Amino acid sequence: MVTKADGTAHSFRVYGAQSGHPRAAELAEKVHALLFRYASDVVAAYGLCPFLHNVETGMGAVGVVLDVEPDVETSAKAIEDLGANVVHLVYPISKLNASGFERFGSKLAKELDQRLRERLVHATFHPELTGGTENAHRLVGLLRQAPDPFVQFIPPGLHEGGTVMAGQAPPTEGRAEATYSRLFEGPAGSKAVEQVLSRLGALREARSVEYASLAEEISRPLP
């Protein structure tokens, strides 16, 4: 449990092979805080996710999974343990590249289809996802370049409406184009996208400064 200066309490749980590391809780707190900054500074600030009206209440349950190689069984049990219909699992010490992490997310989703009563829709986020500002689908990949890899699971109804934070695949062309047009052709024009890029860069820099070395330390086996 983390309590902010304004009195808001954020709770999360820690899982994975390195969850017993003496500094695991310290890392998890920093990871959790940066996840919420990404949700607030990028997703909510630019209206990228229709169901995320309030970051403090809309993020659901959060798990920080300390596995160098994300494991489907560990992650599935974590989601069952969290027991929420909106779940974010963050993997700050994962060594998987973007495509490997996307494959992991798909495997986890298939496993959960077998375990859970209600099917959940999933999305994967990774700092190295392919993306750009050339077209709508590349913009979706760009906006999913969160500072840490994470997977999101939500009920099917919540992903409708053009969100970047829901759905196994990027939104359909119509929804993706709507986001692209709003950011490029709205009153602020391309400046909005430049601002998004700046904020994503600032979040990556914050990770580097605040806990990249700690994440690397925890990723190494204990003696």
DSSP single-letter state for residue 187: T
Return the closest-CA partner of residue 164 out of 59, 48, 79, 71. Answer: 48
Instruction: Retrieve residue 10's tokens.
Output: 């954020």
Instruction: Retrieve residue 92's tokens.
Output: 């700050």
CA distance 196 to 183: 9
Do residues 63 and 78 touch, judged by C-beta distance below 8 A?
yes
Higher pLDDT, 27 or 47: 27
**143-192 pLDDT per residue, tens:** 899 999 999 998 886 545 444 454 434 444 566 677 777 776 666 666 77
Beta bridge partners of 61: 87
CA distance 66 to 21: 9
SS3 content of the chain, % helix, strand, coil (to 5): 50, 10, 40
CA distance 206 to 216: 15
So what's the pLDDT on residue 188? Answer: 63
pTM here is 0.86
